[in-house]
């Protein structure tokens, strides 16, 4: 799972970026489906069919993302005190099933073309359609990476991942069509197989990231170390322990115990805790932070060992 970055945006900006990303994804997928459908109906290329199937599944997955992101952005309520962020991880798992299914269907189609080879028609038109697909997909992936960098959205990251795989698939189709024009018709089938294998690999990567969130996997060690460094920068903090972290949707959850001097009043300890929380929020905007305060004398271990 990618770590949260300091450039993560404020919640309202996050919501706006996520909505834009989902609308852009659906729009591009629909446009590519129409273009590839026309090209495939003319050429009967199995590798082009592969990208058409992938684009149809992209559209379905993007629609799932659209509704999942909307649900994930819903504020916490009485029944869901920690919010609805895991809807994004569930959307990621749904996408992985669609993607794996597309690979299976594609392999079946490859088998049909191996048994009954078909010469590709109108390859030039198909190549022009694939170039258009690459340009549109590159623009979309660039915007999605921008959004992921600032929101850490699992759903948009999964969406960007399979659109990025589309870039390789589209380039492979162009190569297959060109080789077919040169007389090597089996290239179409071979490249379709390679695309199917890559699609399966992409599906597994989405499953891994989604399960990390659903299983409340700890944030990476370097992120946890950064949290402790921020906490210990406060002059009144004597140490910290029992750090627990997780990521759900676009929200990072941080829980820890602060070690403070025994003779501080409750009001003083509370003020220090608030200052530490503010420092963490500057590094991880929009995070949910819970801090428990402990007198230093009751802590029986070294803080440094806790995070190595």
Q: Which domain holds residue 301?
A: 221-306
Coil, strand, or helix at residue 238? coil
Highest mean pLDDT among 68-72, 133-137, 211-215, 228-232: 228-232
Which parts of the chain fold into alpha helices (H)?
11-43, 46-72, 86-115, 123-151, 154-181, 186-214, 221-232, 266-283, 303-306
Are 58 and 31 members of one domain?
Answer: yes
Report yes or no on 191 lying in a domain: yes
Domain end, chosen from 214, 236, 269, is at: 214
Of the candidates 143, 172, 112, 107, the one whose C-alpha atom is nearest the C-alpha of residue 18 is 143
**Paired strand residues for 291:** 256
Are 49 and 183 members of one domain?
Answer: yes
DSSP class of residue 116?
S
Enter the pTM of the model.
0.56
Binned at pLDDT 50, 70 and 90, residue 308 comes out as very low
Report yes or no on 247 lying in a domain: yes
**Paired strand residues for 251:** 248
Residue 43 pLDDT more than 90?
Answer: no
Are 87 and 235 members of one domain?
Answer: no
Tokens of 159: 């969406």
Are 174 and 120 members of one domain?
Answer: yes
Mean pLDDT of 236-241: 92
DSSP class of residue 5?
-
Domain end, chosen from 190, 214, 238, is at: 214
Instruction: Report the domain count for the chain.
Output: 2
What is the CATH number for 302?
3.30.70.1350
pLDDT value for 233: 94
Residue 8 pLDDT more than 50?
Answer: no
Is pLDDT larger for residue 203 or for residue 128?
128
Report yes or no on 19 lying in a domain: yes
Are 179 and 297 members of one domain?
Answer: no
Report the distance separating Cα 55 and Cα 60, nearest Å.
Answer: 9
Contact 156, 65 (CB under 8 A): yes
Contact 197, 110 (CB under 8 A): no
Report yes or no on 124 lying in a domain: yes
Contact 152, 4 (CB under 8 A): yes
Are 92 and 174 members of one domain?
Answer: yes
pLDDT value for 302: 46
Coil, strand, or helix at residue 83? coil
Highest mean pLDDT among 103-112, 151-160, 266-275: 266-275
* DSSP labels, 176-219: HHHHHHTT-THHHHHHHHHHHHHHHHHHHHHHHHHHHHHTTPPP
Domain end, chosen from 156, 181, 214, is at: 214
Are 194 and 47 members of one domain?
Answer: yes
Report yes or no on 1 lying in a domain: no
Count of CB atoms situated within 10 Å of the CB of 95: 28
DSSP class of residue 119?
-
Are 142 and 279 members of one domain?
Answer: no
Report yes or no on 3 lying in a domain: no
Report yes or no on 71 lying in a domain: yes
Are 147 and 97 members of one domain?
Answer: yes
Mean pLDDT of 261-271: 93
Report the distance separating Cα 19 and Cα 302, nearest Å.
Answer: 45
Residue 2 pLDDT more than 70?
Answer: no
Are 244 and 189 members of one domain?
Answer: no
pLDDT tens per residue, range 156-175: 777 787 677 777 777 877 88
Are 143 and 189 members of one domain?
Answer: yes
Report the distance separating Cα 165 and Cα 177, nearest Å.
Answer: 19
What is the CATH number for 91?
1.20.1510.10
Report yes or no on 6 lying in a domain: no
Report the distance separating Cα 69 and Cα 89, nearest Å.
Answer: 10
Are 65 and 114 members of one domain?
Answer: yes
């Amino acid at each position: 799972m990618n770590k949260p970055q300091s450039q993560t945006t404020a919640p309202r900006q996050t919501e706006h970026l996520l909505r834009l990303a989902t609308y852009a994804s659906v729009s591009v997928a629909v446009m590519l489906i129409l273009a590839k459908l026309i090209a495939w109906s003319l050429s009967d290329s199995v590798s082009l069919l592969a990208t058409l199937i992938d684009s149809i599944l992209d559209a379905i997955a993007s629609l799932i993302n659209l509704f999942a992101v909307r649900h994930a952005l819903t504020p916490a309520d009485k029944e869901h005190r920690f919010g609805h962020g895991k809807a994004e991880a569930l959307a990621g798992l749904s996408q992985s099933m669609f993607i794996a299914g597309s690979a299976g269907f594609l392999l079946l189609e490859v088998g049909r073309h191996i048994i009954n080879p078909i010469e590709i028609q109108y390859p030039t038109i198909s190549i022009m359609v694939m170039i258009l697909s690459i340009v549109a997909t590159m623009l979309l992936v660039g915007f999605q990476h921008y959004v992921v960098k600032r929101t850490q959205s699992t759903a948009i990251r999964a969406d960007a991942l399979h659109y990025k795989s589309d870039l390789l698939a589209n380039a492979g189709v162009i190569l297959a069509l060109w080789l077919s024009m040169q007389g090597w018709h089996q290239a179409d089938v071979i490249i379709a197989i390679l695309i199917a294998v890559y699609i399966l690999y992409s599906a597994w990567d989405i499953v891994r990231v989604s399960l990390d969130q659903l299983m409340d996997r700890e944030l990476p060690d370097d992120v946890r170390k950064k949290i402790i460094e921020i906490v210990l920068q406060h002059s009144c903090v004597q140490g910290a322990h029992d750090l627990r972290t997780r990521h759900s949707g676009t929200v990072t959850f941080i829980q820890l115990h602060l070690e403070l001097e025994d003779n501080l009043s409750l009001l003083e300890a509370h003020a220090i805790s608030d200052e530490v929380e503010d420092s963490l929020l500057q590094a991880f905007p929009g995070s949910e932070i819970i801090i428990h305060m402990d007198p230093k004398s009751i802590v029986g271990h070294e803080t440094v060992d806790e995070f190595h």
